[in-house]
Amino acid sequence: MPAVPSTLELPSSVELGLGQGGLAVARVFAPTGTAEVYLRGAHVSAWTPAGGTPVIWMSEQSEYAPGVPLRGGVPICFPWFAAHPTDATAPSHGFARLADWQLVEAREAGDDVVLVFVLTDTEASRASAWPHRFEARYTVTVGARLTLALEVTNRDTEAVSFEEALHTYLAVADIRQTEVAGLEGTPFTDRLTGPRPAESTPVRFDAETDRIYLNTPATTTVTDASTGRVITVAKQGSASTVVWNPWIDKAAAMADFGDTEYTGMVCVETCNIRDNTITLAPGENHEISASYSVA
Ligand code: BG6
């Protein structure tokens, strides 16, 4: 089994096995909820609170192959977001979602289960478009809530800057009857058309939607009118939020995204990007976290 120290002891509520494509996956069975996390990318691919329905969306067309990110779940975008600003050959959303993370800790905490994953720089990452020494520690707490906390420490001898995102794909019954509230009053960049003034109503979806909101610590809610389910995304250490649905044409253009699957998902991404890029002095660290709950 790759990327797991041989000394790691697992509680009975955690199983390590092989998932799709033969990739290593940690499966969590807490009394309060279940989850799956692929070690490749420390990628949460499922979370269902006990007695509930799946909250995290995965594409049925996702690839599970080396060098290709999973489509759905919670990709960790780091150390840059979207295309690299100067290196067109660098992977979209950074290298963290393509890297093998180490599972270093698995424990029960009351009725919850906590998994901790670590990624550090390698010769390959130092030869990449972001040549810095770092340690990233990702704590996944599975229960009636799902809490994801990414702490990055600068292990370099100079200041380093990075972007980051917990690029969560949330499951909805019908995107046309879904609204995302909490970002009213915040101007945004529409990645398709440019800067836009703040709106006074929640985001609704009837076309491709790709928005970057900066300078907002706001909690967001995703309300699915067709089922009445409300997902709350509370965040800390995050100043940016991205809302994305590819809609018809972009979904059709993506090989790892089913043509009609766009109706069942929305990304609400907890980020620090663009003007909210993080800069750390040597030895400094920063934590971004998102906590998901359902009503
Ligand atoms: C979103 C971006 O965060 O990620 C979109 O705002 C992008 O523009 C989407 O299409 C998916 O990116 P990728 O690299 O996983 O296809």
Torsions phi, psi for 79 (to 5 deg): -95, 15
Assess if residue 6 is contained within a domain: no
Assess if residue 292 is contained within a domain: no
- In the prediction, which pLDDT does 79 show? 98
Assess if residue 3 is contained within a domain: no
User: Could you tell me the pLDDT band of residue 203, with boundaries at 50, 70 and 90?
Assistant: very high
Assess if residue 30 is contained within a domain: yes
- In the prediction, which pLDDT does 3 show? 58
pLDDT digit string (tens) for 261-281?
999 999 999 999 999 999 999
Positive or negative torsion for Cα 20, 172, 253, 243: negative
Range of the domain at 73: 14-287
- Rounded mean pLDDT, 42-49: 98
Give yes or no for residue 242 having a pLDDT over 70: yes
Q: Are 276 and 212 in contact (CB under 8 A)?
A: no
Q: What percent of the chain has pLDDT over 90?
A: 97
User: Could you tell me the pLDDT band of residue 147, with boundaries at 50, 70 and 90?
Assistant: very high
Mean pLDDT of the chain: 97
* Ligand 1 mean position, distance from CA 112 (Å): 31
Pocket mutation for ligand 1, best pick of 93, 209, 240, 254 (most atoms within 8 Å of C-beta): 93
* Ligand 1 mean position, distance from CA 242 (Å): 10
The residue whose two tokens read 């600003």 is 85
Pocket mutation for ligand 1, best pick of 210, 265, 266, 269 (most atoms within 8 Å of C-beta): 210
Whose alpha carbon is nearest atom 7 of ligand 1?
82
Closest CA relative to residue 269, chosen from 77, 63, 44, 57: 77
Residue 40, Cβ neighbours under 10 Å: how many? 24
Assess if residue 9 is contained within a domain: no
Whose alpha carbon is nearest atom 10 of ligand 1?
246
The residue whose two tokens read 């809490």 is 147
- Rounded mean pLDDT, 19-35: 97
Assess if residue 271 is contained within a domain: yes
Pocket mutation for ligand 1, best pick of 97, 267, 269 (most atoms within 8 Å of C-beta): 267
Give yes or no for residue 2 having a pLDDT over 70: no
The CATH number assigned to the domain holding 175 equals 2.70.98.10
Distance CA 260, CA 290 (A): 28
CA distances from 66 to 6, 91, 99, 222 (A): 23, 13, 9, 33
The residues lining ligand 1, judged by C-beta closer than 6 Å to any ligand atom, are 69, 82, 92-93, 167, 191, 210, 242, 244, 269
Q: Are 54 and 74 in contact (CB under 8 A)?
A: no
Supply the residues annotated as catalytic.
167, 269
- In the prediction, which pLDDT does 1 show? 46
- In the prediction, which pLDDT does 6 show? 72
Assess if residue 293 is contained within a domain: no
- Rounded mean pLDDT, 3-24: 90
The residue whose two tokens read 């990624």 is 119
Q: For the chain, what is the domain count? A: 1
* Ligand 1 mean position, distance from CA 245 (Å): 9
For the CA of 269, the closest atom of ligand 1 is 3
Assess if residue 8 is contained within a domain: no
